Amino acid sequence: MNRVWSAALALALAAGAGAGAVAQVPAQPAADPGPPLSGYPRRALRAPTPAELKTATYVRDVIYGHRDGMALTYDVFRPVRNANGALVVNMVSAGWRSSWAPPEERQARYQALIDKGFTVVALYHSSAPRFQVPDAVTDVRLGMRHIKRHAADYGADPARIGVWGASAGGHLALVAGMMADDGNPAAANPLERSGNRVAAVVAYFPPTDLAALLKGRTKGGAIDFDDKLLPSVSPIFSVDARDPPTLILHGDADKGVPPAQAQVMQAALDKAGVENRLTMFAGADHDFYVKGDPARTDAYATEAMNAMVGWFERHLKK
């Protein structure tokens, strides 16, 4: 009788094991969430943790100018510990649309810099679709004068300021670097008499020659302005030997801003003798996006952020 039970039990166990094997489903690849915002890694697009919120204090809504009766502002993120005296300005712009958000919601995007002791400024400009690229260019050049003039108020050295942005923000970061000057002593606006030169630039997939980039595109929103102004808002035409060290990161499959935009900028910087580096990410479209491969997309975005922080550590820290 025991032999019968033993055989029955063995048969049941075998059947159960077989059923379990059939029921197992192969692991599915992670769903593709699409392009990341402005090439940020996923960890930088979440809400900051309570612990992270304790690592910075804010100077909110600093007014640096006005346009059409509306204030132009920036927010300052000051590290609580180990401040290194350098400051990095982030050009908040996507498609030349500058969308404000409370510092508490934006901090995770800057946490890698804050953790290294950098003061960070989120700079906002007059935004598309109401305003166009030339307005944004004018605004950020003015904003950089205000930031440099008041850097000491935020515990930073005005000689150690960097700028960083992605896409339209990358274009404006290059504007801040290539189109900087020492101020105009005869300017009616006292702020215009202040210089706005910076010490380092990082640009993700930036437009550099808007005449080439926008050729044949339908006008509207931010790009609805006179073609005669295109050279004046294209940083490629302002490169000279006084420009700051510049890092450009770009996807070699970018269809929104073709890689040639980065390559011509590198050639111009090389010709002027300006320190620079261009990193191309294989197979990456705009925002470092690799369709169907979220892990690779995030790896590229993480590598870019690490490179950005490293560039500023090298060129801004004493």
Cβ-proximal residues to 31 (8 Å cutoff; 6+ apart), any chain: 294
Contact yes or no for 102/37 (Cβ under 8 A) = no
The DSSP annotation for 172-240 comes to HHHHHHHT--S--TT-SSGGGGS----SEEEEES----HHHHHTTPPP-GGG-S-GGGTGGG-GGGG--
Confidence grade of residue 195 (pLDDT, cut at 50, 70, 90)? very high
pLDDT, tens digit, 9 for 90 and up, residues 260-269: 999 999 999 9
Model-level pTM? 0.90
Contact yes or no for 56/114 (Cβ under 8 A) = yes
Asked whether the predicted pLDDT for residue 163 surpasses 90, the reply is yes
The token pair at 26 is 């192969």
- Beta-strand pair 87-91/161-166: parallel
Cα 38–Cα 121–Cα 43 angle in degrees, nearest 5: 40
Confidence grade of residue 169 (pLDDT, cut at 50, 70, 90)? very high
pLDDT at 1: 36
Amino acid in position 150: H
Confidence grade of residue 27 (pLDDT, cut at 50, 70, 90)? low
At residue 240, what are phi and psi to the nearest 5 degrees? -150, 175
pLDDT, tens digit, 9 for 90 and up, residues 99-147: 999 999 999 999 999 999 999 999 999 999 999 999 999 999 999 999 9
pLDDT, tens digit, 9 for 90 and up, residues 31-76: 899 999 999 999 999 999 999 999 999 999 999 999 999 999 999 9
pLDDT at 265: 98
Q: How far apart are CA 23 and CA 212, in angstroms?
A: 57
pLDDT at 318: 84
Give the bridge partners for 251, in sequence order.
281
Average pLDDT, stretch 144-154? 98
Neighbouring C-beta atoms of residue 240, cutoff 10 Å: 11
Asked whether the predicted pLDDT for residue 244 surpasses 90, the reply is yes
What percentage of the chain exceeds 90 in pLDDT? 90
pLDDT at 14: 35
Mutual angle of helices 133-150 and 168-178, in 10-degree steps: 60
- Average per-residue pLDDT in the chain? 92
The DSSP annotation for the chain comes to -HHHHHHHHHHHHHHHHHHHHHH--PPPPPP---SPGGG--GGGGSPPPHHHHTTEEEEEEEEEEEETTEEEEEEEEEESS---S-EEEEE--BTTB-----HHHHHHHHHHHHTTT-EEEEE----TTTS-HHHHHHHHHHHHHHHHHHGGGGT--TTSEEEEEETHHHHHHHHHHHT--S--TT-SSGGGGS----SEEEEES----HHHHHTTPPP-GGG-S-GGGTGGG-GGGG--TTPPPEEEEEETT-SSS-HHHHHHHHHHHHHHT--EEEEEETT--GGG--TT-HHHHHHHHHHHHHHHHHHHHHHH--
Please, how many CA atoms are within 13 Å of residue 257, restricted to the half-sphere of its CB? 31
pLDDT at 199: 98
Average pLDDT, stretch 18-41? 70
Contact yes or no for 65/128 (Cβ under 8 A) = no
Average pLDDT, stretch 141-167? 98
What percentage of the chain exceeds 70 in pLDDT? 91
The token pair at 103 is 């510092």
pLDDT, tens digit, 9 for 90 and up, residues 267-276: 999 999 999 9
Contact yes or no for 95/168 (Cβ under 8 A) = yes
